[in-house]
Chains A and B, each alone.
Chain A
């Protein structure tokens, strides 16, 4: 579905990505892991088109999208959910969600999808008339994910959906990400919460200093001593149980 070939990108003269290769196939959840400042968000921005490529190529469903503007990529089905703080605070919850469906013309289907988002995140239905600036951190995170769903994505990219949230809220959000994936949307999730991300995902990439360090199946990565050493601590069993309960 998505092919990233030797991508170099950054900001101004500062090069952050130094030759990233990535291949994401249809369906399932893929996670991109790495510490702060390793280029995770930069890669997402390069894929969604917010920053131009310095070198390399990105193709989506066989189509070269390297030169497309961000809004054109959204029309193709590549939707990036930004970090939680970036809802539109002066718009109501429902306005935010409707804005997510901006590229779509199928009014009836948009209504159905709106209901679906409310079913996924019932708290949003309760707060639909509220300005999104009044929501809690977890609620805003649900809102931006719901807004991403409204675009009817083929591939949904999530930028640290667990950041600064309570463990219980994270579990709820991850369970819903799983539901979205089961409905046939390919998901690329960037995380710092490595353990949870590897339990959720089927495949993982680990990025460091702008290049992909390791890649592989999630259950393999979680046992990998190098990964364990640099990222993981403690047991994975409790998280796993929490996810399965949902």
Chain B
């Protein structure tokens, strides 16, 4: 492909947009990591479930797209909290983190991932479903040099920014947000502050799953919705979280954007058929230079 500045700009714009979505999923993974000290391997499936819930609400129920988005977020949050309450809690209570005791948690996450994929097959079948959202009221963006950004990308950018600022405001300026940060840092002390720690952990899990669902509904109109979509998203979001520094929330977003841009540029200028490799190339590069990730703070300053 011939190199010109306009198409470079276009690749970067699309890369940033898709990257922000990776970032939102990564944000959830980072939140869960901060709050529960576990890496949630079934988070890709939460994203997939969210996409399907959004699809059902928009196409079958006939809700407008933004309402379907919010609806999918709420339903997925409830599913997530249920999963946490029923399956993960007894394992996290045993503690362990990354020690041998924590292995149970990791295996449980994988198991949950497989189980959820199969439940999804059972309900929605193996075919990829197109997500035809009516987005006529969203303007297309025109950039100099004939770059046109479609509605779904514009909407994704807007909603992602709203979600990020809402989360930031929630964590920084509200009382439950303060409690979430306290729980993320140290559960025992949070308990001694009078914080209902198990409730806050449920809340963290719900928020993280709602974010994943939002990402699913946002990706829906760009690609299509299918049962196996969660696996690749988990990998990309995981790469984004690690690139940004695990546990760091701004790092998750920046990492997501970097992964998005990097893979779009790689697809454009190196080879489009290996698009999914570039995220991990970036991951390896960053880890070689800065093993704690770009924003990984050694002193465990989380959330």
Q: CB within 8 Å of B: which residues of A?
A: 48-50, 69-71, 74-75, 79-82, 86, 88-91, 95, 98-100, 102-103, 133, 147, 151
Q: Are A102 and B175 in contact (CB under 8 A)?
A: yes
Q: Note all chain B residues with C-beta closer than 8 A to A49.
A: 191
Q: Which of B179, B196, B303 has the most CB of A within 10 A?
A: B196
Taking A69-B191, A82-B188, A133-B299 as known contacts, 7 extra A-B pairs with beta carbons closer than 8 A to each other, sorted by chain A number, are A70-B197, A88-B181, A88-B189, A90-B185, A95-B178, A99-B193, A102-B194
The 6 closest A-B CB pairs, nearest first, are A74-B194, A103-B194, A70-B191, A90-B301, A71-B194, A102-B193
A102-B175 Cα distance, complex, nearest whole Å: 8
Interface residues of B (CB under 8 A from A): 175, 178-179, 181-182, 185-186, 188-189, 191-197, 299, 301-303
Given A89-B301, A91-B181, A133-B299, the answer on whether A71 and B196 have CB atoms closer than 8 Å is: yes
Contact A86 B301 (CB under 8 A): no
A50 to chain B: closest CB distance in Å? 6
CB pair A70–B181 under 8 Å, yes or no, is no
Q: How far is the CB of A85 from chain B (nearest CB, A)?
A: 10
A99 to B194, CA, bound (A): 9
B178: nearest chain-A partner, CB-CB: A99
The answer on a CB contact under 8 Å between A70 and B189 is: no
Residues of A close to B193: CB separation below 8 A: 71, 74, 99-100, 102-103, 147, 151
- Docked complex Cα distance between A90 and B303 (Å): 9
Is there contact, CB below 8 Å, between B181 and A50? no
Q: List, in ascending order, chain A residues with CB within 8 A of B301's CB.
A: 89-90, 133
Q: How far is the CA of A79 from the CA of B181 in the complex (A)?
A: 20
CB atoms of B299 and A82 under 8 A apart: no
Closest A residue by C-beta to B179: A102
- Which of B185, B193, B195, B301 has its CB near the most chain A CB atoms (within 10 A)? B193
| Cross-chain contact A71 with B195 (CB below 8 angstroms) | yes
List, sorted by A's number, 22 A–B pairs whose CB atoms are closer than 8 Å: A49-B191, A50-B188, A69-B191, A71-B191, A71-B194, A75-B194, A79-B192, A88-B181, A88-B185, A88-B186, A89-B185, A90-B181, A90-B185, A91-B178, A99-B178, A99-B193, A100-B193, A102-B175, A102-B178, A133-B301, A147-B193, A151-B193
A126 smallest CB distance to B (angstroms): 22
Partner of B182, one of A69, A80, A99: A99
Question: How far is A82 from B190 in the complex, measured between Cα atoms in Å?
Answer: 11
Contact call B299/A102, Cβ cutoff below 8 A: no
How far apart are A94's CB and chain B's nearest CB, in angstroms?
11
Residue on A nearest B189 in the bound complex, by CB: A86
With a CB–CB cut-off of 8 A, which chain B residues contact A99?
Answer: 178-179, 182, 193
Choose among A48, A75, A88, A147 the residue with the greatest number of B CB atoms under 10 Å from its CB: A88
Docked complex Cα distance between A70 and B299 (Å): 27
A212 to B107, CA, bound (A): 45
**Chain B residue nearest to A88 in the complex (CB):** B185
List A contacts of B186 (CB < 8 A).
86, 88
Would you give the shortest CB distance from B123 to chain A, in whole angstroms? Answer: 37
Q: Name B191's contact: one of A50, A81, A98, A151 (CB within 8 Å).
A: A50
Is the CB–CB distance between B192 and A70 below 8 Å?
yes
Given the interface contacts A50-B188, A95-B178, A99-B182, does A89 sit within 8 Å of B195 by beta carbon? no
Least Cβ–Cβ distance between B80 and chain A, in angstroms: 23
Note all chain A residues with C-beta closer than 8 A to B175: 102
Give every chain B residue within 8 A of A90 (Cβ-Cβ): 181, 185, 301-303
> Nearest CB to that of B188 among chain A residues?
A50
- A residues in contact with B188, CB < 8 Å: 50, 82
A101: min CB distance to chain B, Å: 9
Q: How far is the CA of A133 from the CA of B175 in the complex (A)?
A: 21
Question: Which chain A positions have C-beta within 8 A of B194?
Answer: 71, 74-75, 102-103, 151
Which residue on A lies nearest to B297, using beta carbons? A90
Distance, CA A92 to CA B281, complexed state (A):
38
B195 touches A82 (CB 8 A): no
In whole angstroms, how far apart are the Cα atoms of A102 and B186 in the complex? 15
Residues of A within 8 A of B189 (CB): 82, 86, 88
Tell whether, in the assembled complex, residue A89 and residue B192 are in contact, meaning their CB atoms are under 8 Å apart: no
| Residue in A closest to B197 when the chains form the complex, CB atoms | A71
Taking the nearest CB of chain A, how far is it from the CB of B168, in angstroms?
14
Q: Determine the chain A residues whose CB is within 8 A of the CB of B185 once the complex forms.
A: 88-90
Q: Which of A100, A102, A103 has the most CB of B within 10 A?
A: A102
The closest CB in chain B to the CB of A150 belongs to B193
- Are the C-beta atoms of A89 and B182 separated by less than 8 Å? no
A98 touches B178 (CB 8 A): yes
Chain A residue nearest in CB terms to B193: A102
Taking a contact as CB atoms under 8 Å apart, the answer to whether A89 and B299 are in contact is yes
Distance A89 CA – B299 CA, assembled complex (angstroms): 9
Q: How far is the CA of A71 from the CA of B196 in the complex (A)?
A: 6
Distance (whole angstroms) from the CB of B235 to the closest CB of chain A:
29
**Contact B182 A48, beta carbon cutoff 8 Å:** no
**Across the interface, which residues of B come within 8 angstroms of A80, CB to CB?**
192
